[in-house]
Amino acid sequence: MRLHDDQLKEISARFQAEMKKGLSSESNAAAAVKMLPTRVRSTPDGTEKGQFLALDLGGSRFKVLQVKVREGMGIRRGGVEMEEKIYPMPKELLIGRGTELFDHVSESLKDFLHEKNISLEKKHPLAFTFSFPCEQATLNQGFLLNWSKNYRARGLQGKDVVQALREAIDRTGGMDVEVLAMVNDTVATMMTCGFDDQYCEVGLIIGTGTNACYMEELRHVDLVEGDEGRMCVNTEWGAFGEDGALNDYITEFDRDVDATSNNPGKQIFEKMVSGMYLGELVRLVVLKMAKLGLLFDGHVSDALRTKGKITTAHVAAMENYKDGLKNTKNLLTDLDLTPSSDDCVAVQHVSTIVSFRSSNLVAAALAAILSRIKQNRNLRTLRITVGVDGTVYKKHPQYPKRLHKVVRRLLPECHVRFVLSDSGSSKGAALVTAVAQRLASRRRQVDETLSPFKLSQEQLQLVKTRMRSGLEAGLKSKGPSTIKMLPSFVYRTPDGNEHGKYLALDLGGTNFRALLVNFKKGLQQNSRLYHKIYTIPLEIMQGTGEELFDHIAQCVSDFLDYMGMKNAHLPAGFTFSFPCEQTAIDTGTLVSWTKGFKATDCEGQDVVSMLREAIKRRNEFDLDIVAVVNDTVGTMMSCAYEDPQCEIGLIAGTGTNVCYMEQLKNIEKTQEKTGKMCINTEWGGLGDDGSLDDIITPYDIEVNQNSINPGKQRFEKLTSGMYLGEVVRQVLLDLTRGGLLFRGHVTEALKTPGIFQTKYLSQIESDRLALLQVRSILQQLGLDSTCEDSIIVKEVCGAVSRRAAQLCGAGMAAVVDKIRENRGLDHLNITVGVDGALYKLHPHFSGVLQETARVLAPQCNVTFLPSEEGSGKGAALITAVATQKQE
């Protein structure tokens, strides 16, 4: 029975292997250590509140309690008041019919209500601690796998004990109690201690029985859906060894205890460790030594032969520092033995060995759990608290010290604190119920908050219809139109005859790019392309027009230096991703800035002239700007060079927009009526007339009001990268003010516009990203979050980005259906060239957009082709076409 550290490490390693077996769906059924998911997903965070009744059944004492949980405000921790009454649990009920056992429980409950003058009319939420292995699909359901300890009531195994309790309460009648949660005593103990110590994520019972639970990463709990966050797992480690894993540590005495127990072959580990069996083990060892004449001169009394005559309380008494020997003498005398003082020392020593083994075995198994948590969280050192309860731990003088010492010896790199659950486990059970209520109400409130973002098929169909009428209205020469439908003077997509060297300048949403493109005849010929990216500082975006174009000219100068082509006097194409009215391919009057731009003296000006003037001002190089195109047009051309079927350009980036090849006869603003022209729709403006107000949420309104162009680009503000982060931030602000997030702390960070960049959405929503990383992103933003918070933040990001993708999909469905009808086709095959960080980098955006377009335009087979080289190449192609036309 003496176990050395290397043996304990061996047992610890075996238990780790058992835990893995229990957690894995493949091997769970055969696993001895069941690793039962408890549906408890978080430890207390101080916001729990409410008044609960509680039942504590399964330990050495059956208790009925009332628990009042007061919410903590800010740093002031909340408080818990409890009233309890211990009720007898007649032995015959433990082996009688299950219904009688639960009738006794509910009658005791009713008696408690009477005694404490608790109104029988009011509906009382109840928390039920039931200290036996149960399979739980939800918090308020528990199918009893098997009894343990001294319980053997019939007709309950495999049954839902919560239902059995409800039925008993109905049978007793006269009280309105709602059983909201059932928890194992280890879980309740962890929660009880977790109320005062946020590091408490392990619950340990060393009492009549023994068991432990801990917070496991949900992604490791195969039997539960979802990978996000954590869930408390009730290990039921009492069963460790049932598959023979401990056979080389089982002694003859353990075999005797097991053989004479009322569940032979079961709870092997428990029978070596817990209070129900320690006394018996000591008795059997002493009995054997007596028979071998090693004690009491070989005299054996009937009492010593009698099972249960030495209890664990006796063992604790024998080991009492001061009176251990006296207690030993008294005990042996009571067993009709006449012990010599050596006998007493020897028997005391046997007690020590038996209880020492118990604490060592618990230490080994606990070390396995703590190591696993450390590994789960990739920590070099783990700071953690273990909440403990149980009479062996509480009543046995040396037990705690011995246990702590061995755990710390086995895990020197861990900082383990042990907290005794001073008031039993019901506080914890009430907190589980309070957490369950909090999670349930939080779930409801988050769903309510996010439901306006969840667009139905009908709503998306409406958006498609509104987009279509917006496209039609914009093509009209007269009349208001929120969708400007700007002619681009690009009449066809590339045909492969483009050749020569061109410069392309690309002023996008976030940066400026200069490119040099060299085309060789024939489509798909590989064209050589060099480019350089330059950032556009905010002060330039929102400075004067002159500064902006000087900055562009400076970048072009730097690029030509970099390419050594200062004196090349190249033809250039200018991608200008803002709405421009054009009367020819090489002029474009800026209608209005969008996205983050607000440079002065530009709106209403010809941007080509402004660029030319800036180049002239610089007087270092000369360019022949022959074309200005919108980035959607550039993207369409760039992709059409690869796929001739590409006749639509889509940008889903900082901004959002689409262009497509329209029949000239449908474009009232142009003279020509035959053939096609690419129209830059500027669909970002949909809704500027209020046509989207029925789907715009208060959060969108907030974003619009805080934007630099309120009232404008409403569709863009629901769908593009510039704004999605802000919409998310507004929702998070609202949820935090509602106390649903970040413990209600509205930090400066959360109030900072633009802090939640759209790239964070892409990162947070990536499936590969465990929640830990989400938390670190939030950390970077100065938002200290819990697991739950991160789950909600991820959900908010998902709802906002999904809506954006769906709206773009609905818009795209309108465009492709218009093209299909333009050509009088029942079925249209077409390709869309796409660019923009949101489409390219967001993990789900492109898929949701494509799916929505497919569903809303079933007669169109749309291929989405991400643009490799951006729209600059497209601009160069247009420049090539424009140049060749002039020759």
Catalytic residues: 513, 577, 631
Least gap, CB of 533 to ligand 0WK (angstroms)? 10
Pick one of 19, 33, 36, 205: the residue that binds ligand 0WK (CB under 6 A). 205
The three-state secondary structure class of 229 is coil
Q: How far is the CB of 655 from ligand BGC (least distance, A)?
A: 2
Nearer to ligand BGC, 187 or 295 (CB): 187
Q: Please, which residue, 425 or 790, has the CB nearer to ligand 0WK?
A: 425
Site mask for ligand 0WK (CB under 6 A), range 178-197, x = bound: -------x--x---------
Pseudo-torsion of CA 372, 376, 381, 385, nearest 10°? Answer: -70
Residues from 62 through 91 that contact ligand 0WK (CB under 6 A): none
Nearest to 236 by CA among 312, 150, 147: 147
Question: Is residue 151 within 8 Å of 168, Cβ to Cβ?
Answer: no
Q: Is 688 in the site for ligand 0WK (CB under 6 A)?
A: no
Minimum distance from residue 451 beta carbon to ligand 0WK (Å): 29
Question: CA–CA distance from 299 to each of 98, 291, 302, 338, 342 (Å)?
Answer: 43, 7, 10, 9, 15
User: Least separation, in Å, of the C-beta of 189 and ligand BGC?
Assistant: 9
Closest CB to ligand BGC among residues 266, 357: 266
Q: Quick check: 98 and 27 in contact, CB under 8 A?
A: no
User: Interacting stretch for ligand 0WK, rule CB under 6 A, among 518-526, 600-608, 669-677, 832-840?
Assistant: 832-840
Q: Quick one: what does residue 351 bind among ligand BGC, ligand 0WK, none, with the CB cut-off 5 to 8 Å set by partner type?
A: none
> What's the burial of 410, exposed, middle or buried (CB within 10 Å: 0-12/13-18/19+)?
buried
Q: Choose the one of ligand BGC, ligand 0WK, none that binds residue 389, judging by a C-beta under 5 to 8 angstroms depending on kind.
A: ligand 0WK
Residue 210 region by backbone torsions, left for phi larger than 0, else alpha for psi between -120 and 50, else beta = beta
Tally the residues of the chain.
887
- Select the residue interacting with ligand 0WK from 125, 203, 275, 387 (CB under 6 A): 275
| Helix 787-822, helix 457-475: angle, nearest 10 | 50
- Phi then psi for 708, rounded to 5 degrees? -85, -5
Q: What's the rounded Cα separation, in Å, for the pair 232 and 110? A: 31
Q: How far is the CB of 213 from ligand BGC (least distance, A)?
A: 8
654 lines the binding site for ligand 0WK (CB under 6 A): yes
Residue type, 339: P
Stretch that binds ligand 0WK, among 57-65, 74-82, 159-167, 466-474 (CB under 6 A): 57-65
DSSP per-residue codes, 639-697? HHTT-TTEEEEEEESSSEEEEEEEEGGG-TTSS--SSEEEEE--GGGTTTTSTTTTT--
Measured from the CB atom, the residue of 429 and 777 that comes closer to ligand 0WK is 429
Decide if residue 725 touches ligand 0WK (CB under 6 A): no
Comparing CB distances to ligand 0WK, the nearer of 460 and 658 is 658
Rounded-to-integer distance, Cα 632 and Cα 147, Å? 69
Coil/strand/helix, residue 359: helix
Per-residue binding string, ligand 0WK, 836-855, x by CB under 6 A, is: xx------------------
Binding span for ligand 0WK by CB under 6 A among 163-171, 203-211, 580-588, 768-776? 203-211
**Residue facing ligand 0WK at closest CB distance:** 207
CB of 186 to ligand BGC, least distance (A): 5
Closest separation in Å from C-beta 695 to ligand BGC: 20
Answer yes or no: are the C-beta atoms of 485 and 474 closer than 8 Å: yes
For residue 389, state whether it binds ligand 0WK (rule: CB under 6 A).
yes
**Min. distance of Cβ 236 from ligand BGC in angstroms?**
5
Q: Tell me, residue by residue from 607 to 646, as one string, x for binding to ligand 0WK by CB under 6 A and - for no binding.
A: ------------------------x--x------------
Return the structure tokens found at 270.
Answer: 């428990």
Report in angstroms how near the CB of residue 647 gets to ligand 0WK at its nearest.
Answer: 18
CB count in 10 Å sphere of residue 754: 12
Partner in contact with 148, chosen from ligand 0WK, ligand BGC, none, beta carbon below 5 to 8 Å by kind: ligand BGC
Asked if residues 534 and 514 have their Cβ atoms less than 8 Å apart, the reply is yes
With CB cut-offs between 5 and 8 Å by kind, which of ligand 0WK, ligand BGC, none does residue 630 bind? Answer: ligand BGC
The binder of 657, among ligand 0WK, ligand BGC, none, by C-beta within 5 to 8 A per type, is: ligand BGC
Distance CA 26, CA 12 (A): 22
Give the nearest distance from C-beta 507 to ligand 0WK in angstroms. 8
Interface with ligand BGC (CB under 6 A)? 58-59, 131-133, 148-149, 184-186, 205, 207, 209-211, 236, 238, 270, 509, 577-579, 594-595, 630-632, 651, 653, 655-657, 682, 684, 716
Strands (E), 403-451: 414-420
User: Is 433 in contact with 180 (CB distance < 8 Å)?
Assistant: yes
Contact partners, residue 149, CB within 8 Å, separation at least 6: 58, 131, 132, 208, 209, 274, 276
Q: Which of residues 456-515 bind ligand 0WK (CB under 6 A)?
A: 506, 508-510
CB of 380 to ligand BGC, least distance (A): 31
Could you tell me the two tokens for 869? 């080289």
Residue 391 or 879: the one with the smaller Cβ distance to ligand BGC is: 391
Q: How far is the CB of 190 from ligand BGC (least distance, A)?
A: 11
Using CB under 6 A as the binding rule, whether residue 150 contacts ligand 0WK is answered as no
- The site that binds ligand 0WK (CB under 6 A) totals a number of residues, namely 37
Nearer to ligand 0WK, 196 or 243 (CB): 196
Of ligand BGC, ligand 0WK, none, which one does residue 552 interact with (CB within 5 to 8 Å by kind)?
none
Residue 579's binding partner out of ligand BGC, ligand 0WK, none, with CB under 5 to 8 Å set by partner kind: ligand BGC
Q: Are strands 646-652 and 656-663 parallel, antiparallel or unpaired?
A: antiparallel
Residue 84 or 107: which CB sits closer to ligand 0WK?
84
Determine the residue with CB nearest ligand BGC: 655
- Site for ligand 0WK contains 129 (CB under 6 A): yes
Which residues fall within 8 angstroms of residue 754, CB to CB, at 6 or more apart? 725, 726
Of 642, 639, 684, the C-alpha closest to 661 is: 639
Nearest-Å Rg of the Cα atoms of the chain is: 37
Contact segment (CB under 6 A) with ligand 0WK among 59-67, 611-619, 694-702, 877-885 equals 59-67
- Tokens (6 digits) for 877: 């192609």
Q: Token digits for 282?
A: 């000591």
DSSP letters spanning 711-765: TS-HHHHHHSHHHHHHHHHHHHHHHHHTTSSGGG---TGGGSTT-S-HHHHHHHT
Applying the rule CB under 6 A, the residues between 548 and 577 that interact with ligand 0WK are: 575, 577
For ligand BGC, the closer of residues 683 and 699 by Cβ is: 683
Select from 60, 150, 251, 445 the one that contacts ligand 0WK (CB under 6 A).
60
Q: Are 775 and 790 spatial neighbours (Cβ–Cβ below 8 Å)?
A: yes
Which helix (H) or strand (E) covers residue 179, if one does? Answer: strand 176-183
Minimum distance from residue 634 beta carbon to ligand 0WK (Å): 6
How far are the Cα atoms of 311, 682, 686, 732, 806 from residue 803, in angstroms, in the given order? 66, 19, 15, 16, 5
Binding residues for ligand 0WK, per CB under 6 A? Answer: 56, 58-61, 129, 131, 185, 188, 205, 207-208, 275, 389-391, 424-425, 506, 508-510, 575, 577, 631, 634, 651, 653-655, 721, 835-837, 870-872
